[in-house]
A and B are shown apart, each in its own frame.
Chain A
Amino acid sequence: MVRGKGFKIRLQLDKPKLQSLIIKKKRLIQRNIKSVVQKEVIPHVIDLIMEGYDDLAQLADQGAGQDDPSRPSEWREIFRAHLFESANKSFKAKKEFISLGIGDRAFLGDLGTFVDKEDAEPLHWMVFFLEGMVGEFALITPDTYEKLKPNKTFDDSWGRFEDEPVFMIERKAYFAQGFNDIIPWEQVRHPFSGVRPPDIFANALAQLNMRPFLKKAIKAAIEGREI
């Protein structure tokens, strides 16, 4: 008679070992999430913000005010670079927490006081557009001014910017001065007249879906991969 052969395995739960495994896995997940946020989420959020920015730029480019030095299309790359810079500066990962701030108000020159005319920082000009403008305005450049007032010379100390002397005039004042008879209002009307605040930051955050990024980080950690 042949007796079947068998074997016995002694199963013992090695708690310290198991705990160490769990902690290792948890740390890998944390590292992966941190890495995914830095490498993928930040660029993705900035792309979403830039979509809003490009809409703004398009609106500005469609209307009058082609000489406006604060036109968003002029400053696209600077704006984008600042977003990355502020994101990287503000990024903090501490154990279970990751915090990130992109484009706070100070970054746009909104420091709680007026932005000085001599301030040449183009991003500070964006306050005009990002906070919305109530009323209707025309942008008057030196050329436009000299057409409107042929006997007078544009004074370079006028205007919104030290380096780029242009100024805004309200619709009522424009008509009261009789300027509309010389250059029709439509040709000088600033495209951001009456435009509500386009919240490009909040809109980007509203579109952000973190789930796929987290899934990716966790899946890689389960498989033992570091991202």
Chain B
Amino acid sequence: MTVTLARMEDMSLQHWIKDVIIPLKWVERVVNCPLNFNNDKSRYEAVVQWLPNFLDEGRGWVYFDPAGSGTCVVSDLPSTEQSTRVTVYNEGGSAIDQSLFNINYNDGAIEIPGGGTTTAGGTPSTVDFTQYYAAVVDGWPGTDPPPAPIVAVEITGFDKQPFQIGGGRKSVRRVAIDIFATSSAERDDLTEFIYDALYNRHIPVFDFREGEPLNYDGTFNTSWTAPLLTLNNNDDAIFYFRDVNVTNITGRQEWSDINRWRSRITFKMISFRDGLDFNALS
């Protein structure tokens, strides 16, 4: 199976928005959340107390530590599993060492290796965690969207163009980010935040050939090191955000809650490279 740059650029954009940018501000801290043991699944599950909740599509628990300090400027690319976002407590209220359990970030669950109900640090009783407030979904949310706010990211098309001089080419991918908020204030804040995270920026293409930050079962992929994709000429693959535009979408007031406060950010992702084969990787 061939993995193309189109796919890895798409995944990199999703990774950038979901794992790096949104957790800087659009997450919320839940503390003292009770854990219930699910016998069927042999795991502790956090009780849903807040809405929107982590079980929604595009939400879950945050699995990286913050990559910046409250602005949309990133200080570092996150590459290792969080150490400050999730804390599990035993019956006595003491924190259990994170090495004694696995975390399912998609389901908000604690799994003890071997399937037991207790750890050397005690029996899990409550958990503090950070969950996504804004759901980040891949593509148009369709008929069964999670509750707002939603950030829907999609590459809507692309074309490739020659350089003005020389044999290289550039790929121009058109992207639309649809934002569905719960109020006009939230729409404005979320839209501007994402806009600023894109305007005049460029990001690396990550190499997802060895997996993504999360495994399919929702646990952290400990092999993940945020590897950057290298092209066959040893250049790092990079793409640039250009022509970033925002449009607020307004309709009639009774246009359902979820469709009521919307905006769309459109932009182009442009990557350049020499050579004939755009997808020749190292």
Contacts and interface: CB of A to CB of B under 8 A. Distances in A.
Interface residues of A, number: 29
Interface in A6-32: none
A39 B254 CA distance: 41
Interface in B244-282: 247-256, 258-259, 262, 264
Given A105-B247, A134-B180, A160 B141 contact: no
Interface stretch (A58-66, A110-118, A212-220): A110-118
Between B142, B145, B180, B247, the greatest number of chain A beta carbons within 10 A of the residue's beta carbon is seen for B142
B39 to A, nearest CB: 30
Interface stretch (A44-52, A125-133, A142-150): A125-133
Contacts of B251: 110, 114-115, 127-128, 131
Interface residues of B, number: 25
Given A105-B247, A194-B143, A135 B258 contact: yes
B142 A194 contact: yes
Nearest to B154: A196
A128 B259 CA distance: 9
B199 interface: no
Contacts of B247: 105
Label chain B's interface by main secondary structure: loop
B140 interface: yes
Contacts of A117: 252-254
A116 B254 CA distance: 10
A136 interface: yes
Contacts of A132: 140, 178
B253 A134 contact: no
Contacts of B262: 131
Interface of B: 140-145, 150, 156-157, 178, 180, 247-256, 258-259, 262, 264
Going nearest first, the 4 A-B pairs with the smallest beta carbon separation are A194-B143, A196-B140, A194-B142, A127-B251
10 contacts: A114-B253, A115-B252, A116-B252, A117-B254, A134-B145, A134-B258, A135-B144, A159-B254, A160-B252, A197-B264
Interface of A: 105, 110-117, 127-128, 131-137, 159-160, 167-168, 170, 193-194, 196-197, 199, 206
